[in-house]
Amino acid sequence: MKEIRMLSVTPILGYGFPEASLEAGMLLKPHAIGADGGSTDPGPFYLGDGKAFCSRMAMKRDLRLMLIAGLKADVPVIVSTSGGAGGEPHLQMMSEIVHEIANEENLTFKLALIHSEQDPTFIKKRVSEGRVRAASKQPALTNNAIEAAVRIVGLMGPEPYIRALDEGAQVILAGRSTDPAPWAAVAIRGGIPPAQAWYSGKMLECGSEPAVPKKEGCLLARVTPSYVELEPTNSVQKCTVLSVANFALHENPSPIHHLEPGGMLDTENCKFEQVTERVVRVSGMIWKPSDAYTIKIEGVRRTGYKAITICATRDPVLIRGIAAYLKNAQDIIAEKTTAFGVKANEYQLSIRSYGRDGVMGNREPLQDQVPHEMCFVAEVIAKTQDEANAVMGIVRLTLLHSDFPGRLCKEGNMAIPFSPSDIELGAAYEFNVYHIVEADDPYGLFPIEYQIVGEKR
């Protein structure tokens, strides 16, 4: 029976993995090794600002080990959603890292860069044709929203990866991608049916997360036309029926129906078997092709500039009356900021109250309980950084020194753990494009650029 083996080294490039886990995985002779490079989980800032959310040093460390191992074994090395968000700045940053490693390690290989940043004019055209629909609970996409977006990326499926591999790429750096797509590409290209190929991708997208205990490690998938077998390569980990089935539910609106470019992976009838103490086999998955090939697009717009401050109190009198104190503080802040020219409707102020309802907000069922200490994170978003900083200064001063009934302390109300107390966070963003667009083919939105790295050395 045909078998394709793939090794996922880490949940996200830069999160790290033990070298011994990679070495153990390579002994199992994978046909490809790779890592997901990013996610929307850290929020819209990284797509908007073009920055990575993992450190460059950490990503370079992981990628160096992957390149050396993959090229030595003559198997492709793949990184998807490069740099955390998969935009053009992220892809170019990863390309720069790859060139540095190649120079330092004396490596030569064919590199494919798969671009995923989208042309706003094309997206507008699709809107005018009625070929864009909202994902989740987003409103219908408009030209104004498209023009406001700082950056829009498309989530590629497996086809651009397959084309890059067919054209001889030994290393692939891709822009934004659906998480399972690169793994599905390798398996489909190797003759595996789409159902098993896509399921293997769902398992491999987060490194050894389907294994227990939760530690850094790598995950090997053996994929056949009938099943997917999963084995962690960190010797202290194992896959169990429960750990694999639990992981299969993550990050999807439906626990059993997973929408992907070109179709849907149906896992309703999956069967989980414990093959050995450390290996689980999954079978019974079904792939249902869709009538139209669609791509999800993600875009962000700038909402202003942000500053925060963090402070805390253990004053029992203040804590007992904290709701009234914060309401009074916000009234004082609005009055003071208006006095120096920034009206309350020209900025956003939020104060998260940890110890009361900082995590769940209005949904917190225990917010009337009195904690022994509380922490506050105040956030201001304004039109400019100067305005955000100025308002934050008033916020911090007000929280620190305002009076309240029964007050005994005549100095500061708050303990401030950091200096500087007011922290500039720069531009603030929000997702304003989160939609599904019909594509004429799987390739047109994702041009591929090839480079021969190290050939002039």
For 84-123, the pLDDT digits (tens) are 999 999 999 999 999 999 999 999 999 999 999 999 999 9
Residue at 250: amino acid letter = H
Distance of CA 262 to the CA centre of its chain: 22
Q: What is the mean pLDDT of residues 320-329?
A: 95
Sheet containing strand 227-232, strands side by side = 271-274, 280-283, 227-232, 219-223, 4-8, 32-36, 77-80, 171-174, 109-114, 448-453
Please compute the mean of the pLDDT values over residues 6-29 and round it to a whole number: 97
pLDDT at 32 exceeding the cut of 70: yes
Cα three-residue angle 11-13-17, rounded to 5 degrees: 70
Does the structure show a pLDDT above 60 at 457? no
Are 282 and 265 in contact by the 8 Å Cβ rule? The answer is no
Looking at residue 350, what is its pLDDT? 96
Kindly state the helix (H) or strand (E) to which residue 90 belongs, with its residue range.
helix 88-105
pLDDT of residue 456: 67
Alpha helices in 133-284 (DSSP H): 143-148, 159-166, 181-189, 194-204, 241-247
Q: pTM for this structure?
A: 0.94
Contact call for residues 223 and 10 (beta carbons, < 8 A): no
Angle formed at CA 341 by CA 338 and CA 343, multiple of 5 degrees: 45
Sequence-separated (6 or more) residues with CB below 8 Å from residue 242: none
Q: What is the mean pLDDT of residues 251-280?
A: 93
250 pLDDT band, cuts 50/70/90, is confident
d(CA 419, CA 39): 31
Helix (H) or strand (E) holding 113: strand 109-114
The full set of domains in the chain, from first to last, is 4-116+155-293+439-453 (no CATH), 303-430 (3.30.70.600)
Question: Do 30 and 219 contact (CB within 8 A), yes or no?
Answer: no
| Among the listed residues 281, 293, 108, the one whose alpha carbon sits nearest the alpha carbon of residue 199 | 281
Q: Which of 77, 87, 80 is nearest to 110 (CA)?
A: 77
What pLDDT is attached to residue 296?
A: 96
The 3-state DSSP class for residue 39 equals: coil
